[in-house]
Structure 1
Amino acid sequence: MGIGSFIKQFLPNNSGNDSAFGELLKEASDQIGQTSWWNVNVTELAVFNDKIVRLTNKEKAAFIIYLVEHIAHYHNSHSSFSSTNVKYIRISMGKSILSALFKMKLELDDDDLAEIIHIAIRYNTKSAYPVKIPLKAFLNQIQKKYTDTPLPKTISSALKSLQNKVKNDADFCTELDKSKLTEQIGTILNPTTPGDALKAVLFPGDDELTIFINQNVARLPNEDKAHWYAIISLCKKASGAKPSNKYLDEGRPLINKLGADQFKVVASTWFDHFLTIKEKERRHTFTFSNQTYTDVTYTFLSAPATECFKGVIWLCATVKDTTLLQRVALVAERAYRKLPGHGQMSTAIGNASLFTLYKAEGLEGIGHLSRLKVRIKLNSTLQLIEKYMVQAATDRAIPVSVVEDLAVDDLGLINNTRIFEIDDCKAIIQVEKVDKVSLTWQKKDGGIQKSEPAFIKEKYPAQLKEIKLAAKQIEVNLSTQRDRIDLSFKQGKNMLWEHFDKYYLQHGLISIISHKLIWQLTHADGVTAAYWLNGEWIGYQQNVLAINNITEVCLWHPATATVDDVQQWRAFFIDKQIQQPIKQAFREVYLLTDAEINTRNYSNRMAGHILKQHQFNSLAKVRGWQYMLQGQFDNGADGTATIKLPENNLIAQYWTNVIGEEAGTSGIFNYVSTDQVRFVNMRSNETVALADIPVIVFSEVMRDVDLFVGVTSVGNDPNWRDNGGLPAYNDYWTSYSFGDLTEVAKNRKETLTRLLPRLKIAPVASITDKFLVIKGKKRTYKIHLGSTNILMEPNDQYLCIVADRSQKNLTENIFLPFEGDGGLSMIISKALLLADDDKIKDVTITRQINHR
């Protein structure tokens, strides 16, 4: 009896609800009622175990076909999808039963198997709501059944029809499913036998990475090819957010058979190529309401290639190799780079890289996670990194900050230098300062040149690539560690002397930063602020300090020092011409004001400013804060920027509100107004009185907030008012541009007062309450020490100068006692320019100067 005739036994009135199968569906629905049908495990229902499981194989096949057709008919008839609708509950129950049946081993005959394939061709679709035959699981059953016997013609014919459907119908399945089904059907139709020649297992997809990898494997010796085909076969199974232990356990012997060194070399080549791939832009023009629009989208990797490549990255967790992990970290950065209108390039590949860095043996991977935590801005990614960091710390029973210290690689640096020897040459990587790393070449005769010798490029391309990668890694890691140490002021981190000595003072990489900072040393005779110079601790009077038995060390902070001590340390760095990698001696200090004591629970010191929201969002994340952009849609954003301070059980909040009615093309509001700063208890969420906040923590949080205002306020934009801005807030622009000085600006004023006598503009420069005044050849200029905006005497005419990043940095050869204050550099640069205003060629500037 054919299955079609068999089914008719159960459909005497051609009515699903009146049939025997319909009764099974009704009985299952009745057993659960309407209260929890969406969360039921059908295999626990009596009707499933007592009746459905007991159906004959022929009856199960008929039941499957009945369910598919019945559910598809319901959806196609546009019936109700209400969760209270009895028929919809039965349809949902049918989907659950169908899924459970395909998880069982189905002993079906040839006709039944072929008929189910045809049913899948008829009803399967990649659309979200209709029922689907789980083809991969179903084809697995066919594959196992006919492992040792020829494929029957009925099934072969049905599979070829399915193969054609997958190939030609774009709505049948997703790109990833298409790749997997095509390969699986091909394997069933043309199985490999032990005597066959080596059969290629291709990396899936049709994009640039796929082509490169398949060509790369094709050039390998046959023995290596066989091992790589096995590895690629495993990587094609790399579904899910992270690998199972079974996946990694299967991967280890495959890599061992190939050889770990061979795996590293080939995988590194693939990663290097991945880093060079450019996203592809696609433009689609369409007309709507007589208007023509162009939709621009970007693509990076296909879904099949992404999944398989993810599997390769996971396998790197089983191989211990410094260079390989460096490349995995670079892959993560590339994957998290944003595409316009798309988001991150490939979150799946980025997350796979994070897992591998966390899972890799030792602490090198954790060191890369620590670096990525500073460089990546997306909240969800930062949370994942934090999760891995916390887990790594928990596994070792030590604080996260200590894990980060232990994980920092010295990258082979000794006395700020790393040397590679190739042939008769030496490649010398030299750290000149935190953000400047040079690579020079010393020839056999001792001569030094900046570019690599021609024969190195020709004979040793692989070594040259590794040397340049090492230089880049040193530069990136120095910058990251500088930022990490700067952010650690909020932690109030105390270190045992042994830890500090090993991981800060003597460390090849960190010592480049730590040797230029002031440290607070706790020792047998008390607490002393000291600076490490030429192998000795000295004070600000440049005297060698006799300090014995140091027990603890922490960063010195000016908020806990006397005014005289702060002034002496500032004089020390200027007199010694030492530039600190972070602003420490000249760091702004924020102490409680009378107004804040009166308000008690909140500060209005930074309220009432207008910020550019996108800039504010970016800067907040750089400083470790979390903020969600506010837009013309409900994404849960409440306008509050927060930073967790777990060491003190606190969360700091900076409140904002959107202003203006216009949003950008993305629906995000352009501007926000600022409100109060608060601190809340991390556990109870209750507001904490400002007087109870530790001095350094309060100062550092307020410093961040002042930085947000100082950098992203519209008052810093010389073109904001002229470009339209928000006309109702023009008074704010004027008051901020030339108003009272913030703490940052006050610090600039003091720094400039110390530096000015050393600058060539000293004879024509002076400092007033709010301005650096420059007497030029044509006019006198007042540069505001906060906004850096300029007024010209005698009538306080506004002078608009927009920074041109392509121009030479006028302050490049001027000593500044700290790095990182772009505003101070801007003020000095403008002053140098205007002191020689008769030499200015830019007509947009000269036109303003000459107009009175």
Structure 2
Amino acid sequence: MGDSFIGTGPLDPEAAELLAESIRVPVNRFADWPAVSTRVVEVGEALRKASIGRRYAWNHPLKDTKAGEVLAGLPTEDLRAAGLWAMLYRWTGGTDRTHLDLCNAVTDVVAVRRLAWTAREISVLLDCAARYRNSYHLPVVLKLPVSAAARLGDDELRALREPILAARTRAAECFEDMNPDRRGTTVKQLEQLAGRLGHEADDLPAMILNDLDAFGPRVREALGERVKDRALIALLKHAVGVSSGARPTASWRKQAARLVAEPVHEAVRQILTVLVAHREELVVSPSSHGDYGFPVYLDGGNLDMARGLVWAVATLDAAWVPSLLGDLAVTAAVRMAGGWGELRSERLVNAAIGSLGERADDAAVAQLSRIRSRLRRKTMLKSVDKALSTVAERGGISRERLLDRTVPDYGLDADGVRSEAVGEHTAVLALTDDGVSLVFADAAGRRLAGVPMAVRADHADVLADLRREVKELKQMLPTQRFRIEEALGSGRVWDGAEWRAYCLEHPVTGRITRALIWEISTDGGASWRAGLPAEGELSMVDGGLLVVPADARVRLWHPVRADRDEVAAWRDRFAEERLRQPFKQAYREIYLLTPAEESTHDHSNRFAAHVLRYGQARALLTSRGWSAPSLGYWDGGYEGAAVRVYRDEAGGAEFRASFDVTLIATETDGGNPALCSTGRVHFTLDGVSVALRDIPALVLSEAFRDCDLAVGVTSIATDPTWADTGRDSDHWDYWSRASTADLGAAAQIRREALRRLLPRTKIADRVEIGDRFVRVRGNKRTFKVHIGSGNILMEPNDSYLCIVAKPHGGKQLFLPFEEADGMLGVILSKVFLLAADDKITDPTITRQLV
């Protein structure tokens, strides 16, 4: 460590006069200055004179400036003199903007250099920062003294105990007033210095669980007195110190594993539970242009603490960890309400993914699978795919086979039921047609209406675990359904043994797969035969049984590979046996290349020029695995493309489908896009455009099906109120045309289903199914219900009838499949209502029937 620029006595009067004259402040400002070397004055004067009349850019403050040349030409030891001069200038309270900018620039440069600071010099630097009166800029002022102190050895640091703790106290007092972009880092560094001094505060650092977001107060309320627990405070302080990189260091994780042990981890569970339920809140900030609001999810310190806790529980042996991390990732991956498309916290999502990847057990893999089904941003999908692939490589299997093998069974039997004694009662957890149920029975086996008081009072922990499993199962079922539907669209192939173990006989996935048509090949894929699972084998469409050998190839049947007769036969069987599928398979739409698309070569205009409700379209495409664009009133926000990758298992290729959309600006959307128009659909392979004729039929059909679904569900043509509210709109012509247009593929499937269903009903003699409409003969009037949009026209003059109806419940009428928009149920509901039009009492409808 070199000679100090700071002596032990007061500042020399002549040096004080020189400084007062150059800085243009009264000499009494230097009354309590320490004895500063004349070299500090000389260096400071050189910098000050070089900066006269100069303003400094925020990003490159000293670039191409005289002051920058002066600083660059200084010997290494004189950089300390420059830093001292800049900090001492702040001590005087100087207000010249040029000099303050210069001070900021100089301290930023000097702070990153490894210089031989003396303890006396660092003490003066800290004292200068403590005297600085502008709380907002305090993080900038603290940067140099904190970085200098951090490079001292522990013995040298102890000599600075008082000024370091004083700086920590000052930072805590004005934390909420500091620059929010810098305060977190500054306070974190001060906490680390205090920790090296062996100073253990009895309270939380100012940067965490504060009032700068809604999360901090909620956690304090939930924890109550436990927030003062020293062991918890130690963990939270360690958590907030997690590195900003993708993964924490090995030493950090080792210390975290020690701190998160009993009894602290129950408090951690409560903090993370509060975080899962936490949502962003709109903060209103006044400005010269009027008040404006922006969403705040987590303040910087609380975000770092949350990330640290997520990583800290990575190795915690507790059953609640995987599901809670899964919930947190799904919640944090949602776009903030009132924002500009930004997520709540991508860093928090990636931390949860990384923590689950570290655990690598079956429960963690199941949650990674669930998270993957909900994510759409490429960077996060890459993270979860990497975590899954890493775990799969350890086991020497593919990622898809890993996901098959790690679906939890929750102790359910082959029928999807589990009975468990809870005191004198029995809890029955079961998968049902309606989802998941948890019921209790008494000692005599009688089913009870609710949870017995004895269970609530004496077995609260068991009840909590059962409810957690119900929640997990409810989340798991749609994830597995989507994963299996993806396998249908990709043409994935299982071998017979794994298909039987992980698809057919698994109590969770089996609930889905046993209602689907499968096909097998015993000759290496040269020929395939299809059947429906029955008694462990496959029942063909004609009723014959297919034995599935262990070495057979098994895949989901898809109508694009079948002829019309086979498709019709399967649909007849599902109708006759009243079999319901978890998603459309027998009735799945198929999309073949048209002559118009052959002529456009590399793109399709089949779904172009439609007007969609943007928010609904975006949500639907996202639920189907697309990365939907964020449209808005900003540069680059007026157009974009929804994107999804479709894998062709047969060829081993991945095709990237793009569906172009454009923002439709309106004067009434309040800055939040309400409508968008559709454009072309096109494909690439490895970044190169692909001709439509070269896209595998399965990939093309599935991609077009998603696009048609988006148009069919979210088009304004399906809005029955548009006839009243949109008549003066620019899109009235589109609505008038599209609301009664020729049927697309999805509506054609709906028409076929209606032709099978309605003849079996009590109103069969009152309905006729044409090309586009279901014609309904009521007792007062005759109606036409459009099979595509659900809109209603009244004969004889085709006047419009507005009815906003709910889907017809499946309990009233069997439906062979579920639709994303429920339009089949909506049409059936309207048909039954109109067939008895003389019994309608709703005045909003009856006055239209006159």
The answer, yes or no, to whether TM exceeds 0.5 is: yes
d(CA) in 2 for partners of 1:287 and 1:137?
Answer: 35
- Equivalent residue letter for 2:750: R
d(CA) in 2 for partners of 1:524 and 1:217?
Answer: 66
Partner of 2:640: 639
The reply on whether 1:99 has 2:99 as its aligned counterpart is no
The structure 2 residue matched to 1:108, chosen from 119, 128, 138, is 119
d(CA) in 1 for partners of 2:800 and 2:307?
Answer: 56
Partner of 2:449: 450
Contact 2:138 2:178 (C-alpha < 8 Å) held by counterparts: no
Q: Post-superposition shift, 1:211?
A: 1.4
d(CA) in 2 for partners of 1:717 and 1:313?
Answer: 44
Contact 1:241 1:352 (C-alpha < 8 Å) held by counterparts: no
- Equivalent residue letter for 2:124: A
d(CA) in 2 for partners of 1:766 and 1:431?
Answer: 39
Contact 2:639 2:663 (C-alpha < 8 Å) held by counterparts: no
Q: Post-superposition shift, 1:493?
A: 1.5
Q: Post-superposition shift, 1:746?
A: 0.6
Distance change (3 Å), C-alpha of 1:133 and 1:825: same
Partner of 1:84: none
d(CA) in 2 for partners of 1:556 and 1:10?
Answer: 91
Partner of 2:630: 629
Contact 1:123 1:132 (C-alpha < 8 Å) held by counterparts: no
- Equivalent residue letter for 1:330: D
Partner of 1:774: 776
Cα deviations across residues 338-358 of structure 1 (Å, max 9, x unaligned)? 543245555544443232122
The structure 2 residue matched to 1:163, chosen from 169, 190, 206, is 169
Partner of 2:440: 441
d(CA) in 2 for partners of 1:607 and 1:462?
Answer: 56
Partner of 1:322: 319
Contact 2:43 2:81 (C-alpha < 8 Å) held by counterparts: no
For 1:556-567, list aligned pairs within 5 A.
Answer: 556-567=557-568
d(CA) in 1 for partners of 2:513 and 2:441?
Answer: 29
Partner of 2:680: 676
Q: Post-superposition shift, 1:589?
A: 0.6
* The 10-residue stretch of structure 1 (12-21 or 367-376) with the greater mean CA deviation from structure 2: 12-21
d(CA) in 1 for partners of 2:684 and 2:239?
Answer: 47
Contact 1:179 1:204 (C-alpha < 8 Å) held by counterparts: no
Secondary structure of 2:532's match? strand
Q: Post-superposition shift, 1:785?
A: 0.6
Q: Post-superposition shift, 1:453?
A: 0.8
Partner of 2:721: 719
Cα deviations across residues 178-210 of structure 1 (Å, max 9, x unaligned)? 7974995899699768xx9x9566774353344
Contact 1:320 1:360 (C-alpha < 8 Å) held by counterparts: no
Secondary structure of 2:112's match? helix
Contact 1:166 1:172 (C-alpha < 8 Å) held by counterparts: no
* The 10-residue stretch of structure 1 (180-189 or 519-528) with the greater mean CA deviation from structure 2: 180-189
Q: Post-superposition shift, 1:792?
A: 1.2
Partner of 2:486: 487
d(CA) in 1 for partners of 2:20 and 2:373?
Answer: 69
Partner of 1:474: 473
TM-score by length of 2: 0.83
d(CA) in 1 for partners of 2:319 and 2:115?
Answer: 45
Distance change (3 Å), C-alpha of 1:21 and 1:788: same
d(CA) in 2 for partners of 1:848 and 1:299?
Answer: 48
Cα deviations across residues 261-306 of structure 1 (Å, max 9, x unaligned)? x45544333333444556666667x6978xxx77556655554333
Contact 2:91 2:128 (C-alpha < 8 Å) held by counterparts: no
d(CA) in 2 for partners of 1:444 and 1:580?
Answer: 37
For 1:327-726, list aligned pairs within 5 A.
Answer: 327-342=324-339, 344-376=343-375, 381-382=380-381, 384-393=383-392, 398-414=397-413, 415-433=415-433, 436-524=435-523, 526-548=527-549, 550-635=551-636, 638-646=639-647, 647-660=652-665, 662=667, 664-668=669-673, 670-683=674-687, 685=688, 687-724=689-726
Secondary structure of 1:554's match? strand
Cα deviations across residues 806-843 of structure 1 (Å, max 9, x unaligned)? xxx54433211112351111111111222222222221
- Equivalent residue letter for 2:761: L
Partner of 2:54: none
The structure 1 residue matched to 2:240, chosen from 236, 240, 258, is 236
Cα deviations across residues 104-134 of structure 1 (Å, max 9, x unaligned)? 563221x751344324642876469966524
Cα deviations across residues 132-164 of structure 1 (Å, max 9, x unaligned)? 524544565689457766956xx48xx647734
Secondary structure of 1:587's match? coil
Distance change (3 Å), C-alpha of 1:661 and 1:227: closer
d(CA) in 2 for partners of 1:12 and 1:180?
Answer: 31
- Equivalent residue letter for 1:238: V
* The 10-residue stretch of structure 1 (384-393 or 447-456) with the greater mean CA deviation from structure 2: 384-393
d(CA) in 1 for partners of 2:714 and 2:611?
Answer: 8
The structure 1 residue matched to 2:143, chosen from 127, 133, 136, is 133
The reply on whether 1:252 has 2:271 as its aligned counterpart is no
d(CA) in 2 for partners of 1:845 and 1:586?
Answer: 33
- Equivalent residue letter for 2:622: K
Root-mean-square deviation (Å): 4.3
Q: How many residues are aligned here? A: 799
- Equivalent residue letter for 2:307: K
Cα deviations across residues 317-344 of structure 1 (Å, max 9, x unaligned)? 1124432211221233333455432455
Q: Post-superposition shift, 1:50?
A: 11
- Equivalent residue letter for 1:716: T
Contact 2:126 2:142 (C-alpha < 8 Å) held by counterparts: no
Unaligned runs of 5+ in 1: 28-33, 81-86, 220-224
- Equivalent residue letter for 2:412: L
Distance change (3 Å), C-alpha of 1:730 and 1:72: farther
- Equivalent residue letter for 1:665: G
- Equivalent residue letter for 1:211: R
Contact 2:257 2:313 (C-alpha < 8 Å) held by counterparts: no
Secondary structure of 1:449's match? coil
The reply on whether 1:813 has 2:819 as its aligned counterpart is no
The reply on whether 1:64 has 2:64 as its aligned counterpart is no
Partner of 1:31: none
The reply on whether 1:836 has 2:848 as its aligned counterpart is no
d(CA) in 1 for partners of 2:72 and 2:394?
Answer: 44
Partner of 1:735: 737
Contact 1:741 1:770 (C-alpha < 8 Å) held by counterparts: yes
TM-score by length of 1: 0.83
* The 10-residue stretch of structure 1 (359-368 or 435-444) with the greater mean CA deviation from structure 2: 359-368
d(CA) in 2 for partners of 1:548 and 1:611?
Answer: 48
d(CA) in 1 for partners of 2:772 and 2:842?
Answer: 27
Distance change (3 Å), C-alpha of 1:182 and 1:237: closer
Contact 2:612 2:676 (C-alpha < 8 Å) held by counterparts: yes
- Equivalent residue letter for 1:326: S
Contact 1:163 1:185 (C-alpha < 8 Å) held by counterparts: no
Q: Post-superposition shift, 1:417?
A: 1.4
d(CA) in 1 for partners of 2:787 and 2:583?
Answer: 20
Contact 2:322 2:363 (C-alpha < 8 Å) held by counterparts: yes
Secondary structure of 1:728's match? coil
- Equivalent residue letter for 2:117: L
d(CA) in 1 for partners of 2:45 and 2:516?
Answer: 78
d(CA) in 1 for partners of 2:297 and 2:488?
Answer: 40
Distance change (3 Å), C-alpha of 1:478 and 1:170: closer
Partner of 1:215: 224
Distance change (3 Å), C-alpha of 1:812 and 1:750: same
Unaligned runs of 5+ in 2: 1-6, 24-38, 51-56
Cα deviations across residues 760-804 of structure 1 (Å, max 9, x unaligned)? 322322211111122122211111110111111122111111235
Contact 1:120 1:133 (C-alpha < 8 Å) held by counterparts: no
Cα deviations across residues 79-123 of structure 1 (Å, max 9, x unaligned)? 69xxxxxx99x989745532223x5563221x7513443246428
Cα deviations across residues 25-59 of structure 1 (Å, max 9, x unaligned)? 999xxxxxx9x98999xxxx999999744x2xxx6
- Equivalent residue letter for 1:422: V
Contact 1:72 1:123 (C-alpha < 8 Å) held by counterparts: no
d(CA) in 1 for partners of 2:609 and 2:71?
Answer: 65
